[in-house]
Amino acid sequence: MGTSRHDNEALEERLLEFAARCGRVVESLPDTRMGRHVAGQFVRCGTAAAPNYAEACAAESRNDFVHKLGIALKELRESRIWLKLAIKCELLPSARLLPLVAECNELMGIIGQSIITAKSNRGGASTRETRSE
């Protein structure tokens, strides 16, 4: 909504690549109690932003677009926490995970800005107002 098809496809591709990288990290996590726990959580959220973004691109309204982008942003935030926990627990070398954290931060910034832009373009209605419509 409001961005070019090329921009949408480029962001979708970045989100797909992020999901693939998350999948490779999941496959590399140790087969320990903590490793399995992080893997189970991370595989879900790390691969969820891309399909939620794709759904946002096919939104039925601006409110639907904002809502679905919000879900993608939540999944990225959760992904970042699992990555940070994997680093804290030394499940994989931080040198391997930090670039993925950086990409996650960039994607969060892009989607967060898209949400702000879309909200300002709909006339300034608050999130609470739009949910009750």
Q: What value does the mean pLDDT take over residues 12-26?
A: 98
Residue 81 maps to which CATH number? 1.20.1440.60
In the chain, the number of structural domains is 1
Please state, in angstroms and as integers, the Cα–Cα distance from residue 37 to each residue in 31, 43, 46, following that order.
9, 10, 14
- Which tokens sit at 43? 């595989």
Predicted local confidence at residue 2, as pLDDT: 52
> Where does the pLDDT of residue 33 fall: very low under 50, low under 70, confident under 90, or very high at 90 and above?
very high
Q: What is the pTM of this model?
A: 0.86
Instruction: Provide the pLDDT for residue 101.
Output: 98
Q: How far apart are CA 58 and CA 61, in angstroms?
A: 9
Task: Supply the range of the domain harboring residue 74.
Answer: 5-132
- State the Cα–Cα distance between residues 62 and 131, nearest whole angstrom: 12
Give the separation between CA 82 and CA 64, rounded to whole angstroms.
27
Top-confidence residue, 66 or 1: 66
Confidence at residue 77, expressed as pLDDT on a 0 to 100 scale: 98
Tens of pLDDT, residue by residue over 58-69, are 999 999 999 999
